[in-house]
Structure formats: C-alpha cells, structure tokens
C-alpha cells in the first residue's frame, strides 16, 4: 500500500510452499522501530521475528488463494507490512483473495491460542489483547522453556506480542478503507451490488471509516487509558488512516469530475 519496493542487493529471498518471497531491508528497520525497547534488545529481536511471522502468514493467505485461481504470485515484505501480487479474477474470487490474508492471520492467532489453552498458561478472565499468564502451570516445564516461577521471559514476550500484533493488524486490514483488504472487499461488493454508484459508495465509506480511525488514533494518544487505545501507536495510525481517507477523497473528486 506504500507503492512497490524495488529489489535491492540486501533483499532476503526464499521460497515458501513454492511461492517466492522477497524481504526488503526496510521491513527489518520498520519492524525494529515498532518493537523497540532500548534496555532489552533480545525482546526486540523476538518481536521482530513475531512481526515477520505475522506478516508472512497474512500474505501467504492472499498468495495461496491467488495461486489456486491459476496465477503465480510473489510476496514482498516491506514497510511494516507487505503485499502479494495478484490479478483481476472476478468479483467473488477477488473477495476470496482479499479475505484470505486476514483469514490466515486469525488462523495464526487460533494456532497460538490453542496450545496456550491446552497447557493452561492463560489465567481465566485474561483477554488475548492483554493476556495474564498462569506461572504456576509452567513450574514443571523444562528449564529451557520456563524458568522457575516467572516463566521464560522471551517465550512469554513472543506469545503476548503475537496475540496483540496479529489481532490488531488483521482487524485494521478488514476495515472498509481503500486500499486495505477490507477496502478491496468493499469495492468489489459495492461495484457488484450497485454497478452505477458502487465506486462512490465504497469511497465515501472509506473516507468516513478512515477519518473515524484517524480521529480515534489522535484521541487515544491524548487519553491512553481508554479502552482500545492505540497508545503511542496512535500517531502512526492517525497519520496513516488520515492519509488513506484523503486518498479516497481525492479519488472521489476525480471520479465525480469524470461523471459530470
């Protein structure tokens, strides 16, 4: 969504399930920025790996469904996210491709949650966005995984951060804001449901939703104690969604200009 990122000599390249993946250096830098905590570089490294896994799984969702529809995709990870190349199929196939990214992301949340639940390491009443750990359940684990009564700090950092990051990025992505996944689904749907006014409805929905998230980001930065606060990430979300709402507004101006 920040445009395409040209290959560099420092790109990490590999194949996953036959799909070529390219990781631009800006991915590691922007992830480290988000994960930063100057006194604990080990935690930063763990969080960066969690971001890598989360974004890769999300993009693999798009890529696998794209390939199923007969087109060979490529995944590029860049500025705090990525994209999987695709092509225009049909309304419902395109909706399936867009939905598959967040779908894979929520599946990953489930796959992290299930062992936590089976091993009884989450305290009853704690939520996935702010998990509280049951250290007593970890007491008999091997030393390498759990240390005494405080648990292995890095394992818990990975679980805690993965829940938060996967839930937030996939929830953000299903909002009907162009060009996020939810925005693509909204556009496909409205163009199908209302061929003449579909684009206009989609863009207006995008402006209102993007504007509301931008306002909430700014508000929750000022009042970090409210529920669903973005805390210090409020600025980032506010700027990003404000910018996306503006792009939709510009697009709407252009399309209504063509009409008249």
Where along the sequence are the contacts to Zn ion (CB under 5 A)?
101, 181
Distance from C-alpha of 177 to C-alpha of 61, rounded to nearest angstrom: 20
Closest separation between CB of residue 62 and Zn ion, Å? Answer: 6
Closest separation between CB of residue 104 and Zn ion, Å? Answer: 9
Closest CB to Zn ion among residues 97, 156: 97
Closest separation between CB of residue 259 and Zn ion, Å? Answer: 30
Q: What is the dihedral of CA 245, 249, 252, 256, to 10 degrees?
A: 160
Distance from C-alpha of 63 to C-alpha of 100, rounded to nearest angstrom: 9
66 conformational bin, left if phi > 0, alpha if psi -120 to 50, beta if neither = alpha
Closest CB to Zn ion among residues 53, 147: 53
Closest separation between CB of residue 58 and Zn ion, Å? Answer: 6
Half-sphere exposure of 50 (CA within 13 A, CB side): 25
Closest CB to Zn ion among residues 157, 170: 170
Closest CB to Zn ion among residues 101, 234: 101
Closest separation between CB of residue 181 and Zn ion, Å? Answer: 4
DSSP alpha helix (H) spans, 11-40: 25-35
Distance of CA 109 to the CA centre of its chain: 12
Closest CB to Zn ion among residues 160, 181: 181
Closest separation between CB of residue 100 and Zn ion, Å? Answer: 8
CA dist 119 to 3, 21, 93, 167, 240, Å? 43, 33, 39, 21, 38
Helix axes 234-259, 198-222, angle to 10 degrees: 160
Closest separation between CB of residue 84 and Zn ion, Å? Answer: 8
Helix (H) or strand (E) holding 83: strand 81-84
Closest CB to Zn ion among residues 69, 219: 69
Residue nearest Zn ion, CB atom distance: 101
For residue 129, the 8-state DSSP code is S
Distance from C-alpha of 155 to C-alpha of 45, rounded to nearest angstrom: 12
What are the tokens at 239? 């700027």
What are the tokens at 21? 């993946």
What residues are paired with 78 via a beta bridge?
A: 81
Closest CB to Zn ion among residues 47, 58: 58
């Amino acid at each position: 969504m920040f445009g395409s990122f040209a290959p560099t000599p420092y790109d990490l390249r590999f194949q996953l399930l036959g799909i070529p993946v390219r990781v631009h250096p800006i991915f590691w830098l922007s992830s480290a920025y988000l994960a930063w905590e100057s006194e604990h570089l080990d935690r930063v490294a763990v969080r960066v790996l969690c971001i890598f896994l989360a974004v890769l799984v999300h993009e693999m969702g798009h890529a696998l469904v794209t390939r199923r529809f007969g087109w060979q995709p490529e995944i590029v990870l860049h500025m705090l996210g990525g994209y999987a190349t695709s092509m225009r199929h049909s309304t419902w196939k395109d909706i399936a491709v867009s939905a598959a990214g967040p779908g894979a992301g929520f599946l990953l949340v489930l796959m992290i949650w299930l062992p936590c639940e089976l091993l009884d390491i989450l305290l009853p009443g704690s939520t996935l966005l702010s998990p509280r750990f049951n250290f007593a359940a970890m007491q008999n684990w091997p030393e390498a995984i759990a240390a005494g009564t405080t648990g292995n700090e890095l394992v818990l950092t990975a679980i805690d951060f993965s829940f938060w990051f996967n839930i937030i990025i996939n929830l953000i992505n299903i909002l009907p804001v162009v060009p996020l996944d939810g925005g693509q689904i909204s556009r496909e749907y409205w163009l199908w449901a209302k061929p003449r006014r579909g684009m206009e409805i989609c863009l207006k929905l995008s402006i209102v939703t993007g504007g509301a998230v931008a306002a909430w980001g700014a508000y929750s930065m000022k009042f970090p104690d409210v529920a669903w606060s973005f805390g210090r990430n409020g600025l980032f979300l506010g700027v990003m969604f404000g910018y996306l709402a503006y792009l939709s507004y510009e697009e709407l101006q252009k399309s209504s200009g063509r009409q008249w």
